[in-house]
Structure 1
């Protein structure tokens, strides 16, 4: 049975002290003698991943040799960096990425920057010489567009530029959470196997489990993206959506846009162009209704609270379409400590539910 309401939520010696959970939340905890993984428990109680995506204008992927510390920014290469940084292209989430040879035996570090432009993305690729070159690169990107010329002798160089690159970012940082370390690593390997099978087949027509759109797909194994209780969790580009409990074949159909959007929407953590929380849940509801054509619409997400509810506007001005979505707070569920007895210490998390959605005439 679940831990009793009012029970001690921090075992003796625990460094965290949290207030007792409300009875209805404590009732969702695992049994006191059980120590499940956080991802397994979140799935067991039906936790909705909506509203938990990265919210950013860009993601910067820095190759950092393994092993990674927790947090990854304790690595000497990333000294002085933060998870969110302001670059010329907008608020940018910085993530470590596993080098192709894992231990990074090369003298230069590769950096990939993907940012949102209209309904798509643009990407720039760089190489930097050690920590000083990496800091110089990010100082450059804070002041100037990624497309601007790179100064000679700066310790970094531009090596490529592309539009609407297809990529999958899979959280695999086992030093942060065992669920991402195991489930994320499995997903990355499985999807790479799917890609190999597709290339070997050399066909143009869609078939189950294989992406068929033209161009390459890059798989990045990245550091903590948040939401390890939803492992395996991944972000797909160029759509900028994050996904929970995703499998390799499903990732392929997302990249291909052959997946049923309404069926996949409950697994969507959110879209990176909307603020975390109710705004991402509202945008997800529009995605479920409109489907993949929504990804071809440049859109803005605005919301305003109204008591314990939120009215969220999703506006695709160039397409001449707009939606209003009403959202309210839903269940409060426990976010448990992974592989800890009784899941303790645990903290509460709020789910959100859509109560109404309508398209506005423009």
Structure 2
């Protein structure tokens, strides 16, 4: 029986502009089994999981559970949890880590999600410290949500962990099961799909140098889907690899399924990118067991480098 990942790849479904959207990520270590909706279906207090999602989502923050690769025995009892906070906007990206001992309810409920969603660290307890060392690599492995994530994600996470390549964690959900194995790298927030261990190692070598590779890249989570498409398209056009060189200044909807995105370079250059939503040519399932559908694909129609006529009275690009 074909899986959603096999079907998607056979159909040539593009990876670009399929990353989960989140400016900020809150990651909570939770070993043991995960249910399909892990925030309320694990050994984490389901009331806490639901409350955190409700508090964080309106402010562009995504909450997920993580655990180290390997066996996951069904253990209960006291837990010393690793936690991470990451903000992914260019030029303001950061990654913090901490350790929670005892029940995490009070320590997590009191986070200022409005501030964190905008990248503001004021008022954050000093128990959160800058993460030292390699970027975080988060591989989706939640087979209870989609079997492709278990069949393809767990072997990748195990191989990367065994190689000592980077700081590897399993994560509950990154969206896009049909692109498995999928992973997210923090702090920059670029997601990848249909990727093997050798390619991941190349991605990490680039990230250590502050660069991003676009091969098998799904997009930067800081942007909406049209913004992800525009960012990757400008990178492909210009060859720009520096992770924080490009920013999406705005996305304007110009019609049903049509957008105009403005992308800026740190050197002042700007591009206007036209994006259309194009339906898949044939129905296929978005995940294993789901009814076939025709999910939209972000299609880059035109890229225009803005010239002097687009500059304002101060000489700055608009």
Identify the TM-score tier after normalising by the shorter chain: 0.7 to 0.9
Matched, 1:189 2:158: yes
Unaligned runs of 5+ in 1: 1-34, 151-156, 197-216, 259-263
Aligned to 1:275: 224
Of the candidates 102, 110, 119, which is equivalent to residue 139 of structure 1? 110
| Residues 338-357 of structure 1 deviation map (CA, whole Å, 9 limit, x = unaligned) | 565xxx62222011211211
Aligned mates of 1:181, 1:292 — CA distance in 2: 34
* Cα displacement (A) at 1:305: 2.1
Where 1:286 maps in the other structure, the secondary structure is helix
In 2 relative to 1, CA 322–142 (structure 1 residues): closer, same or farther, beyond 3 Å? same
In 2 relative to 1, CA 142–312 (structure 1 residues): closer, same or farther, beyond 3 Å? closer
Matched, 1:251 2:200: yes
Of the candidates 52, 55, 64, which is equivalent to residue 21 of structure 2? 55
Matched, 1:345 2:291: yes
Where 2:44 maps in the other structure, the secondary structure is helix
In 2 relative to 1, CA 230–100 (structure 1 residues): closer, same or farther, beyond 3 Å? closer
Matched, 1:315 2:264: yes
Matched, 1:116 2:88: yes
Alignment of 1:185-224 (within 5 A): 185-195=154-164, 217-224=166-173
| Residues 246-302 of structure 1 deviation map (CA, whole Å, 9 limit, x = unaligned) | 1111111112229xxxxx6462211112112x2221221112223353413262341
* Cα displacement (A) at 1:165: 5.3
Unaligned runs of 5+ in 2: 208-212, 308-316
Matched, 1:97 2:66: yes
Aligned to 1:290: 238
Indicate if the aligned counterparts of 2:269 and 2:306 stay in contact, CA closer than 8 A.
yes
Indicate if the aligned counterparts of 1:164 and 1:237 stay in contact, CA closer than 8 A.
no
Matched, 1:356 2:302: yes
Indicate if the aligned counterparts of 2:38 and 2:65 stay in contact, CA closer than 8 A.
yes
* Cα displacement (A) at 1:115: 1.2
Indicate if the aligned counterparts of 1:63 and 1:98 stay in contact, CA closer than 8 A.
yes
Aligned to 2:247: 299
Aligned mates of 2:133, 2:23 — CA distance in 1: 14
* Cα displacement (A) at 1:359: 2.0
Count of residues in Structure 1 that have an aligned counterpart in Structure 2: 292
In 2 relative to 1, CA 142–303 (structure 1 residues): closer, same or farther, beyond 3 Å? closer
